[in-house]
């Protein structure tokens, strides 16, 4: 089976340290600059090597974490139904990190259509997800997006500026998942999509507990964190000695059909002090603060296990 980690090492060795560092720096700079479209600035070979080394693992971790949270919310809110999607349309698929993440969460996803504009990314994607159907073109040029159980835009909506989100939603038989960088700009993309999707009749299944106005007010923004192990190559390229990094992401999942009200969403790492845990939650129409002290044993036990991004009962 094709191992993308080994391929990242092989490509890095082939490209050479200075070219790879340069490509990674450009990629990171483009990600920090919200006006840019990161992928457009790098040529094929360097882009794929840099992407596979640093962005692929981070995107994979974020999309997996988002999809897990979505799966739990669907189970809790959509009448306890088992959601086992079989088909996925991945728009701006890159070399398949987002799609790979979703197959880990929903293993019955075996019919995958991936649309990606860059031939070098598609070439690598075909090795990573050989069973998928790959189309090399701009998503907005596809006359009619074919219906699939799940439609995914993983770190691609803010780049694919010509694609109205309503077109992606129309293609989603059941679920549309959008993942974006966990930056104010990534969150703005999510928030704009949220408004338009609600207007188009979608039910927001995660992370929001309800369809009401989002209580995150600038300079605050709604985002989450996924921890990933750093390979030796990753550490070399990003500097630092830590064996892990935390990828910040924002996400939105739109569901076709009615939903029960959602639970409260945990918005930050819980603040843990001796005998006391404080948790910030999304509790529309506002954000709220919940506190548990050791005296309340059951609640304290639940809070101790609660993580950023989890849900809590009302």
Ligand X SMILES: C[S@@+](CC[C@H](N)C(=O)[O-])C[C@H]1O[C@@H](n2cnc3c(N)ncnc32)[C@H](O)[C@@H]1O
Tokens representing 210 are: 């309800």
Cis peptide bond N-terminal to 207, omega within 30: yes
- Is 286 strand, coil or helix? strand
Q: Which of 134, 155, 187, 303 binds ligand X (CB under 6 A)?
A: 155
Does residue 57 contact residue 98 with C-beta atoms inside 8 Å?
no
Closer CB to ligand X, residue 250 or residue 263?
A: 250
Closer CB to ligand X, residue 91 or residue 266?
A: 91
Closer CB to ligand X, residue 89 or residue 205?
A: 89
Q: Which of 20, 102, 109, 139 binds ligand X (CB under 6 A)?
A: 139
159 binds ligand X (CB under 6 A): yes
Tokens representing 135 are: 């189309």
Burial annotation 207-239 (CB, 10 A radius, 16+ → b, else e) = bbbeeeebbbeeeebbbbbbebebbebbeebee
Closer CB to ligand X, residue 38 or residue 270?
A: 38
Integer CA distances (angstroms), 297 to 42, 244, 293, 311, in order: 55, 33, 8, 19
**Exposed, middle or buried: residue 201 (CB in 10 Å: 0-12, 13-18, 19+)?**
exposed
Q: Which of 52, 121, 208, 292 binds ligand X (CB under 6 A)?
A: 121
Nearest residue to ligand X, scored by beta-carbon proximity: 94
Tokens representing 258 are: 């009615």
Binding segment (CB under 6 A) for ligand X, from list 132-140, 211-219, 229-237, 263-271 = 132-140
For the CB of residue 82, give the shortest distance to ligand X in the complex, in Å: 26
**Exposed, middle or buried: residue 137 (CB in 10 Å: 0-12, 13-18, 19+)?**
exposed
Q: Which of 71, 77, 116, 150 binds ligand X (CB under 6 A)?
A: 116
- The rounded distance, in Å, linking the Cα atoms of 240 and 193 is 36
Q: Looking up tokens 């962005």, which residue turns up?
A: 55
Binding segment (CB under 6 A) for ligand X, from list 153-161, 207-215, 261-269, 276-284 = 153-161
29 binds ligand X (CB under 6 A): no
SS (H, E, C) 252-267: EEEECCCCCCCCEEEC
Closer CB to ligand X, residue 27 or residue 264?
A: 27
Number of residues that bind ligand X (CB under 6 A): 23
Does residue 65 contact residue 58 with C-beta atoms inside 8 Å?
no
Q: Which of 87, 117, 203, 263 binds ligand X (CB under 6 A)?
A: 117
Residues 270 to 309: which contact ligand X by CB under 6 A?
A: none
Does residue 24 contact residue 31 with C-beta atoms inside 8 Å?
no
For the CB of residue 62, give the shortest distance to ligand X in the complex, in Å: 8
Closer CB to ligand X, residue 7 or residue 116?
A: 116
Residues 36 to 95: which contact ligand X by CB under 6 A?
A: 38-39, 59, 63, 92-94
Tokens representing 95 are: 């070399």
189 binds ligand X (CB under 6 A): no
Among the listed residues 27, 281, 58, 74, the one whose alpha carbon sits nearest the alpha carbon of residue 174: 74
140 binds ligand X (CB under 6 A): yes
Binding segment (CB under 6 A) for ligand X, from list 17-25, 73-81, 156-164, 231-239 = 156-164
* Residues forming the site for ligand X (CB under 6 A): 38-39, 59, 63, 92-94, 97-98, 115-118, 121, 138-140, 154-156, 159-160, 162
């Amino acid at each position: 089976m094709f191992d993308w980690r080994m391929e990242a090492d092989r490509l890095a060795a082939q490209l050479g340290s200075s070219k790879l560092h340069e490509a990674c720096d450009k990629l990171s700079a483009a990600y920090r600059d919200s006006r840019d479209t990161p992928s457009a600035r790098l040529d094929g070979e360097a882009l794929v090597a840099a992407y596979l080394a640093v962005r692929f693992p981070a995107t994979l971790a974020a999309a997996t974490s988002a999809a897990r949270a979505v799966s739990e919310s669907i189970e809790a809110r959509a009448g306890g139904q088992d959601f086992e999607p079989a088909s996925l349309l991945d728009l701006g698929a890159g070399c398949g990190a987002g799609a790979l993440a979703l197959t880990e969460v929903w293993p019955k996803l075996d019919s995958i259509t991936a649309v990606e504009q860059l031939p070098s990314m598609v070439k690598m994607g075909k090795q990573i997800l050989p069973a998928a159907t790959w189309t090399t073109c701009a998503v907005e040029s596809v006359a009619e997006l074919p219906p699939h159980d799940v439609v995914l835009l993983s770190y691609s909506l803010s780049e694919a500026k010509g694609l109205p989100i309503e077109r992606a939603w129309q293609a989603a038989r059941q679920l549309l998942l959008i993942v974006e960088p966990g930056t104010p700009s990534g969150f703005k993309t999510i928030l704009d999509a949220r408004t338009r999707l609600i207007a188009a009749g979608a039910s927001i299944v995660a992370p929001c507990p309800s369809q009401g106005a989002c209580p995150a007010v600038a300079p605050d923004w709604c985002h989450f964190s996924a921890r990933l192990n750093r390979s030796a190559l990753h550490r070399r390229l990003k500097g630092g000695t830590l064996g892990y990094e935390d990828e910040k992401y924002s996400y939105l999942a739109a569901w076709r059909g009615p939903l029960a009200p959602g639970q409260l969403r945990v918005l930050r790492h819980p603040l843990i002090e001796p005998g006391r845990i404080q948790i910030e939650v999304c509790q529309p129409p506002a954000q709220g603060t919940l506190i548990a002290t050791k005296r309340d044993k059951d609640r304290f036990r639940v809070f101790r296990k609660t993580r950023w991004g989890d849900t809590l009962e009302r």
